[in-house]
């Protein structure tokens, strides 16, 4: 038996967990929400610093004794370097309009997904912070690619 971590399409390792091929799994909430709510999977903790709105009864790892633990999944839109600013601005405006759509907001809330919506600069700063955080962690733990 082993541990699954989802870097494949949503829910692939959840299926492995439910079939007994792996003993535990780290996965995104959207990938497992239906299985947890149906009782097919048992959620032990969430990896974000705070409890998930979809599962307020499930503690975070941070509140379970590891106060600095904060690992979240995030998605973003990227364009090739040199993409004209007006194209980036249009994609940004259209994306924000979609994120403000009532149906999209309702669906995201049902999946416990918090949509961002800041500026392109804010997102670029966030990505840089994430890279710095994980680069420091890899160096501190002396993790090597295999």
Confidence of residue 65 (pLDDT cuts 50, 70, 90): very high
What pLDDT is attached to residue 60?
94
Same domain, 60 and 91: no
Which residues on neighbouring strands pair with residue 5, listed in sequence order?
Answer: 26
Counted domains in the chain = 2
Q: What is the mean pLDDT of residues 37-56?
A: 90
Beta-carbon contacts of residue 14 (< 8 Å; ≥ 6 apart):
4, 6, 25, 27, 31, 32, 35, 41
Q: Domain with 8 in it: what CATH number?
A: 3.40.190.10
Same domain, 14 and 53: yes
Cβ atoms of 60 and 43 closer than 8 Å: no
Same domain, 17 and 46: yes
Whether the model clears a pTM of 0.75, i.e. scores above it, the answer is no
Q: Which helix (H) or strand (E) holds 25?
A: strand 24-26
What pLDDT is attached to residue 13?
65
In a domain, 17, yes or no: yes
Distance of CA 92 to the CA centre of its chain: 20
Q: What is the extent of the structural domain holding 59?
A: 3-64
């Amino acid at each position: 038996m082993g541990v699954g971590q989802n870097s494949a399409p949503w829910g692939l390792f959840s299926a492995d967990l439910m079939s007994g091929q792996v003993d535990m799994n780290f996965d995104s909430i959207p990938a497992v929400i239906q299985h947890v709510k149906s009782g097919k999977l048992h959620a032990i903790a969430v990896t974000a610093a705070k409890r998930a709105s979809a599962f307020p009864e499930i503690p975070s790892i941070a509140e379970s004794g590891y106060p600095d633990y904060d690992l979240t999944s995030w998605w973003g839109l990227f364009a090739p370097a040199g993409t004209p600013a007006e194209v980036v601005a249009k994609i940004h405006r259209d994306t924000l309009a979609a994120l403000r759509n009532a149906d999209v907001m309702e669906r995201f809330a049902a999946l416990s997904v918090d949509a961002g919506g800041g500026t392109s600069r804010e997102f670029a700063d966030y990505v840089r912070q994430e890279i710095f955080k994980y680069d420091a962690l890899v160096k501190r733990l002396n993790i090597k690619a295999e």
